[in-house]
Amino acid sequence: MSALIMHVDMDAFFASVEQQANPALRGKPVIIGGRDNKYHSIICAASYEAKALGIKNAMFSQEALRICPQAIFVPADTAKYVYTSNQIFAILKSYTPQVEKFSVDEFFLDITGSVGLFGSVENLAQDLKRRIRQAFGISCSVGVAPTKLSAKLMAKLKKPDGLLIADRAQVLEILQDLPIEKICGIGPRLKKRFHQLGILTCGQLAQYPDDILDDHFGVTGLWLKAICQVQDHSAVEYFEEKNTLPKSVGHSQTLREVTSDQPYIRSWIYLLAEMVAQRLRQKGLQGRTIYFYASDGFEGGYAKRKTFHEPTYDGQEIYQRCLEIIRLLGQASLTVRVLGVSVSNLSAADSYYLFEEQNKRDRVLKAVDQINHRFGDWTVVPAALKAAVY
């Protein structure tokens, strides 16, 4: 029996939640963006009514409001979405223990072993859709196929509120004439390069010789070919796999506007470093490799990773390492809109230090974590974060 992977994709998730919460928004073009300023934000979700008017996710809010002045801007309320996402995750866990939270609004389920309990794949999928709708009044699209990426594609083809179940032969048939850009991971640049080779559809990519793909695209080309042949068998990574360390922990932030204000930028880098560090400590991890990314939002940005000798879970240290990376990039003065910091090369945290200074610092971090855990995030913050947080 081949694997049965289900992909559950919430339809216009943030916008649907807001429309459900506020009946006055239903049936109207709704766009969700940052809480700072509706004219200097990135659209993180748009309702289907807004999408029908040409508004897309990740568009600048100014552009979205120019395209559709009647669109209703709603500041994102992350707590609402995170809670809903966690509750949906709990519902999904009642169908199989093997559930992967791929993002806040996307989940993979390996239902190979549990489908028998529900009679059929369709019964399981319909029941799951009904329960989510009953609990939150919002819809999802479901795709079922032998691999994760083909399941994701099936869900995407039936949006909104759809269900598509396909075996390998059916997926291959669907892929035959499907434009390659429909595959997750193929953006405009990659699409152009495939087109230059005469590869327009997934069916063509599935037949393309390995050596030529390898020459042009390396392992990515072969991986994409495997997807088009429904042979990408990456496993559903469910939470209970405690022994599996995450590959990296990172955060990024789009600022209100492009800025060259160096103290402001540095305080944001520090805030991102603190956020990453806090999550590392929560997970009992530390990391050696720091990745820093900055972009003005228009042209390609600056990005560099560097591996350090000592692992860390200290935000101040991660921040200092980011500054070192900036120096290595030769950027004395940054002009940025988007910033990102991540830590990889992770290992279990080990907080025994040779020098007392480091032990003291470690005790401070633990005390701060305890205070913030009790009284709420960012109750105690480094003073250097003032410009970013307040």
Active-site residue set = 106
- Taking the complex as a whole, the smallest distance from the CB of residue 78 to another protein amounts, in Å, to 5
- One DSSP character per residue, 208-247 reads S-HHHHHHHHTHHHHHHHHHHTT---PPP--TT-TTPPPS
Upper half-sphere CA count for residue 332 (Cβ side, 13 Å): 0
- Taking the complex as a whole, the smallest distance from the CB of residue 246 to another protein amounts, in Å, to 5
Cβ proximity to another protein, 78 vs 176, nearer residue: 78
Contact residues for another protein, defined by CB under 8 A: 17, 20-24, 35, 75, 78-86, 101-104, 136-137, 237, 239, 246, 249, 251, 253, 271, 275, 278-279, 372-379, 389
- Taking the complex as a whole, the smallest distance from the CB of residue 26 to another protein amounts, in Å, to 10
Contacts of residue 154, defined as CB under 8 A and 6 or more positions apart, other chains included, come to 7, 143, 144, 145, 164, 165, 166, 171, 174
Cβ proximity to another protein, 39 vs 83, nearer residue: 83
Cβ proximity to another protein, 75 vs 218, nearer residue: 75
Q: CB-based burial of residue 261 (10 Å sphere; 0-12 exposed, 13-18 middle, 19+ buried)? A: middle
CA Rg, the chain, in Å?
23
Cβ proximity to another protein, 74 vs 227, nearer residue: 74
Cβ proximity to another protein, 78 vs 359, nearer residue: 78
List alpha helices for 329-355, DSSP H: none
* Conformation bin of residue 184: beta by default, left when phi > 0, alpha when psi is -120 to 50: beta
Strands 140-145 vs 163-165: parallel, antiparallel or unpaired? parallel
Q: CB-based burial of residue 205 (10 Å sphere; 0-12 exposed, 13-18 middle, 19+ buried)? A: buried
Tell me if 349 sits within 8 A of 280, measured CB to CB: yes
Give the closest residue to 121 by CA, choosing from 240, 237, 2.
Answer: 2
Three-class secondary structure of residue 77 per DSSP? coil
- Taking the complex as a whole, the smallest distance from the CB of residue 205 to another protein amounts, in Å, to 28
- Taking the complex as a whole, the smallest distance from the CB of residue 103 to another protein amounts, in Å, to 5
Give the closest residue to 11 by CA, choosing from 2, 20, 3.
Answer: 20
Strands 45-46 vs 163-165: parallel, antiparallel or unpaired? unpaired
Three-class secondary structure of residue 143 per DSSP? strand
- Taking the complex as a whole, the smallest distance from the CB of residue 90 to another protein amounts, in Å, to 13
| Cα 125 to Cα 5, 67, 174, 299, 325, distances in angstroms | 11, 37, 20, 43, 48
- Taking the complex as a whole, the smallest distance from the CB of residue 317 to another protein amounts, in Å, to 19
- Taking the complex as a whole, the smallest distance from the CB of residue 60 to another protein amounts, in Å, to 19
Cβ proximity to another protein, 81 vs 95, nearer residue: 81
Cβ proximity to another protein, 102 vs 223, nearer residue: 102
Taking the C-alpha atoms of residue 62 and residue 119, their distance in angstroms, rounded to an integer, is: 50
Three-class secondary structure of residue 64 per DSSP? helix
Residue 310 per-residue DSSP state:
E
Cβ proximity to another protein, 27 vs 54, nearer residue: 27
